[in-house]
């Protein structure tokens, strides 16, 4: 089983938070021990004593138990990793898991270790903790699995950093969809509530798929063996995007965009004529970005409306 160590900052804050719900006698006993530590005059010795005290109470209050049982569920991770560190996260957005290379002392070799970041308060929210850690450890399992073929960086886009950010966000959404799909099936519930949550995120991210969006989502959510290569390919060129005009750039202003306006047919006849006057090769099925739609419609659509009065 992987050996987990805990950040002293996480331990200290979690133990202090436990005073809110711990029995009164236990709180008094902890405070008595803590007051005795304050009597130590040497700063380094006093700090070490605080760390030892808090770690002992942290274990005695069974605060690490759920985390360690969740890590133990992923037995395949333990086959690849020997060590994990549980660090303190400040915000909910910082919570998550990753692999970090550690240099072996005196050898120069590197080995990956698990880094799990949690807010102290999350240790007191068992359902939230289970959902978070199980999801994050599935990420780690994929990263370690040779069949998944994980690569930390996606291929760079010819359209620059803005397009790279779009593709990374698409990849993240796709990966999360496949992870929650597998977790739902492992729990015996393919209609798990996360399915609807992931669908909403997928639909917003891949709106360029139009009527094919739900079918694509279901295929990814039900995918039992996703690979990094397949996720990256879809993120960079969503299936069917060629038919919906998603080239990564607006055909009018040529600015990189995540999604073209899904309903260019809303343009007035006067606006379409004005666009074709400036861009003779443009066809309505190529689409345009929301900014160009607003600009052209605002300038030429109003003229059209006025001429009809």
The C-alpha atoms of residue 275 and residue 282 are separated, in whole angstroms, by 8
Convert the pLDDT of each residue in 90-135 to its tens digit: 999 999 999 998 766 666 677 899 999 999 999 999 999 999 999 9
How far apart are the two ends of the chain, measured CA to CA in Å?
78
Q: How many domains does the chain have?
A: 3
Are 11 and 140 within one domain?
Answer: yes
- Torsional sign, CA 19, 24, 26, 32: positive
Identify the domain boundary among 118, 144, 170.
Answer: 144
Structural domain contains residue 152: no
Count CB neighbours of 57 within 10 A.
Answer: 22
59 and 183: one domain?
no
Residues 220-260: tens digit of each pLDDT: 999 999 999 999 999 988 864 443 444 567 778 777 676 77
Say what percent of the chain tops pLDDT 70.
87
The pLDDT, as a whole number, for residue 108 is 63
Q: Give the separation between CA 207 and CA 210, rounded to whole angstroms.
A: 6
pLDDT of residue 246: 47
Q: Given this model, what pLDDT does residue 309 score?
A: 37
Same domain, 101 and 35: yes
Last residue of one domain, picked from the residues 110, 144, 178 = 144
pLDDT of residue 306: 40
CA distances from 5 to 16, 101, 154, 162, 239 (A): 19, 16, 32, 38, 44
Q: Which residues contact 30 (CB under 8 A, 6 or more apart)?
A: 15, 19, 22, 57
Per the domain annotation, does 275 fall within a domain? yes
**Residues 260, 238 contacting (CB under 8 angstroms):** no
Same domain, 132 and 77: yes
**Cα separation, 251 vs 275, whole angstroms:** 11
User: pLDDT value at position 106?
Assistant: 60
Residue 153 lies in a domain: no
pLDDT at res. 104: 62
φ, ψ of residue 100 in degrees (nearest 5): -125, 135
pLDDT tens readout for residues 151-167: 988 887 766 677 788 88
> Contact, 119 vs 91, CB < 8 A?
yes
Domain extent, residue 109, equals 3-144
- Tell me the C-alpha distance between 26 and 67, whole Å: 23
**Is residue 247 within 8 Å of residue 166, measured between CB atoms?**
no
- Determine what percent of the chain is predicted with pLDDT higher than 90: 57
This prediction's pTM: 0.74
Please report whether residue 190 resides in a domain: yes
pLDDT band at 2 (very low <50, low <70, confident <90, very high): confident
Q: Classify residue 40 by burial, with Cβ atoms within 10 Å: 0-12, 13-18, 19+.
A: middle
Kindly report, residue by residue over 19-77, the tens digit of the pLDDT: 998 889 999 999 999 999 999 999 999 999 999 999 999 999 999 999 999 999 998 89
Helices (H), the chain: 8-18, 24-38, 43-60, 65-73, 75-80, 126-144, 161-186, 194-205, 213-221, 228-236, 269-278, 290-296, 302-307
What the block records as the tokens of 58 is 């942290």
Same domain membership, residue 258 and residue 202? no
Do 107 and 167 lie in one domain? The reply is no
Q: 17 and 132 share a domain?
A: yes
Exposed (0-12), middle (13-18) or buried (19+): which is 131, by Cβ within 10 Å? middle
């Amino acid at each position: 089983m992987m050996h987990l160590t805990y950040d002293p900052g996480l331990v200290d804050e979690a133990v202090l938070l436990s005073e809110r719900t711990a029995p009164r006698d236990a709180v008094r006993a902890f405070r008595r021990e803590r007051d005795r530590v304050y009597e130590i005059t040497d700063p380094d010795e006093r700090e070490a004593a605080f760390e030892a005290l808090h770690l002992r109470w942290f274990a005695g209050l069974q605060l690490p138990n759920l985390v360690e049982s969740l890590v133990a569920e992923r037995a395949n991770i333990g086959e690849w990793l020997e060590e994990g560190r549980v660090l303190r996260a400040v915000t909910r957005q910082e919570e998550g898991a990753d692999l970090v290379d550690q240099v072996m002392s005196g050898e120069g070799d590197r080995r990956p270790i698990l880094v799990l970041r949690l807010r102290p308060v999350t240790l007191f929210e068992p359902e939230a903790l289970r959902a978070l850690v199980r999801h994050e450890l599935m990420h780690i399992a994929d990263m370690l699995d040779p069949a998944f073929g994980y690569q930390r960086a996606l291929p760079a886009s010819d359209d620059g950093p803005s397009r790279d950010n779009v593709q990374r966000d698409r990849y993240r959404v796709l990966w999360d969809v496949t992870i929650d799909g597998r977790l739902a099936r492992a729990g015996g519930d393919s209609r798990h509530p996360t399915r609807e949550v992931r669908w909403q995120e997928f639909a917003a991210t891949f709106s360029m798929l139009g009527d094919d969006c739900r079918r694509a989502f279901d295929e990814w959510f039900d995918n039992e063996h996703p690979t990094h290569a397949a996720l990256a390919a879809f993120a960079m060129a969503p299936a069917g995007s060629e038919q919906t005009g998603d080239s990564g750039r607006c055909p009018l202003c040529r600015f990189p965009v995540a999604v073209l306006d899904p309903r260019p047919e809303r343009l007035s006849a006067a606006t379409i004529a004005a666009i074709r006057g400036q861009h003779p090769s443009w066809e309505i099925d190529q689409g345009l970005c929301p900014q160009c739609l607003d600009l052209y419609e605002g300038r030429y659509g109003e003229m059209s409306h006025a001429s009809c009065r």
